[in-house]
Amino acid sequence: MSDHSDLFEELQALATEQRNPNSTHIGTASTEEILRVINTEDHLVPIAVRRELPQIAEAVEHVVEAFENGGRLFYVGAGTSGRLGVVDASECPPTFGTDPERVQGIIAGGKEAVFRSQEGAEDVSADGAQALADRGVTDDDVVCGITSSGRTPFVVGAVEHARDVIGCPTVFVTTVPRDELDVDPGVPICPVVGPEVVMGSTRMKSGTAQKLVLNMITTAAMVRRGKVYENMMVDLQRTSEKLVERSIRTVMMVTGVDYDEADAVLDRCDGHVKTAIVMILADVDATEAQRRLDATDGFVRPAIEEE
């Protein structure tokens, strides 16, 4: 049998390539009925993700440990999966004040593939390994492969290289059942969402599940690293008018001061929300507040309570 025939048989068996019996009529359905079918299927996604919480928690622990040791998180994907990794990585600096190097997204085909499909770029496993080498991935880092099908060569090649050559922890996010994986995934996160409304269109339920999982991994890891106070962003960067106002509002909500005082204190500490909170609640100047935060590894509550 030819390689093409082997691939055909492999794709035919994938859960992500099956026809959905609940949407076979959409070609002749009304607009509202099409939307109802999509919405009904979308309700299955968070349920599937919930079943994977133990595996997601294990992945978060690896990421937290990496961050504590100066390591990084690398997402590796192709197509929709790759774009989701790039998006999640790009949103960490403005949300949590992290260095852009801390969480990085690698997509098959490079930056061009973020905006325009480069489908053939995913077919060479060695390219995935090379992409990690180009980023200087070490055993202090975590590599998270993202692939709806569980078989994308670029992603599998990267994960295998990370595990066998680099020796770093690996995570594998896919929407096929765990027992159908042909790769040793490290930590397998497998929200099985069932066939798509449009057969094989994994930008839909599969993409939504992956988005939820990636949000959970980075958000939980950042919470564990003291990037929030209670449930508020306190390491955000004031890079837009919206974020400037959010910074002021956050300081007001935590400390009880009015708008003008919050704004004035933020000005005295270069707009750093954590420092402003410690300054007000511990009644110290910016230098002492920053010293306390350095001593507590950036955690606000112990910095306030330090005697």
pLDDT, one tens digit per residue, over 133-181 is: 999 999 999 999 999 999 899 999 999 999 999 999 999 999 999 998 8
Name the domain count of the chain. 2
Residues 67 and 199 in one domain: yes
112 is catalytic: no
1 inside domain: no
Residues 40 and 134 in one domain: yes
Asked if residue 191 lies in contact with residue 205, where contact means CB atoms within 8 angstroms, the answer is no
Condensed to tens digits (0 to 9), the pLDDT of residues 90-107 reads: 999 988 989 999 999 999
243 inside domain: yes
Query: Which of 192, 224, 256 is the last residue before a domain boundary?
Result: 224
* Helix or strand (DSSP H, E) at 129: helix 125-135
Q: pLDDT grade, residue 1 (50/70/90)?
A: very low
Domain of residue 110, CATH code: 3.40.50.10490
Please tell me the predicted confidence (pLDDT) of residue 301: 93
Catalytic-role residue among 91, 261, 288, 306: 91
pLDDT(252) > 50: yes
Condensed to tens digits (0 to 9), the pLDDT of residues 261-291 reads: 999 999 999 999 999 999 999 999 999 999 9
Catalytic-role residue among 52, 122, 160, 196: 122
Residues 220 and 286 in one domain: no
pLDDT(236) > 80: no
What percentage of the chain has pLDDT greater than the value 70? Answer: 94
184 inside domain: yes
Q: pLDDT grade, residue 119 (50/70/90)?
A: low
Residues 32 and 131 in one domain: yes
241, 242, 223: which is closest to 233 by C-alpha? Answer: 223
Please tell me the predicted confidence (pLDDT) of residue 5: 59
Q: State the Rg of the chain over Cα.
A: 22
pLDDT higher at 11 or 80: 80
Tell me whether residue 240 is exposed, middle or buried, using C-beta atoms within 10 angstroms of its C-beta: 0 to 12, 13 to 18, 19 or more: exposed
Calculate the average pLDDT of the chain.
Answer: 91
Which domain covers residue 290, as residue numbers? Answer: 228-305
203 inside domain: yes
Please tell me the predicted confidence (pLDDT) of residue 20: 83
Residue 106 Cα to chain centre, angstroms: 12
Query: Which of 224, 253, 279 is the last residue before a domain boundary?
Result: 224
Report the SS3 class of residue 57. helix
Which phi and psi (to 5°) does residue 52 adopt?
A: -100, 10
41 is catalytic: no
Looking up tokens 């300081």 gives: 251
Residues 208 and 285 in one domain: no
Residue 53 is encoded by which pair of tokens?
């919480």
3 inside domain: no
Asked if residue 131 lies in contact with residue 158, where contact means CB atoms within 8 angstroms, the answer is yes
Query: Which of 205, 224, 243 is the last residue before a domain boundary?
Result: 224
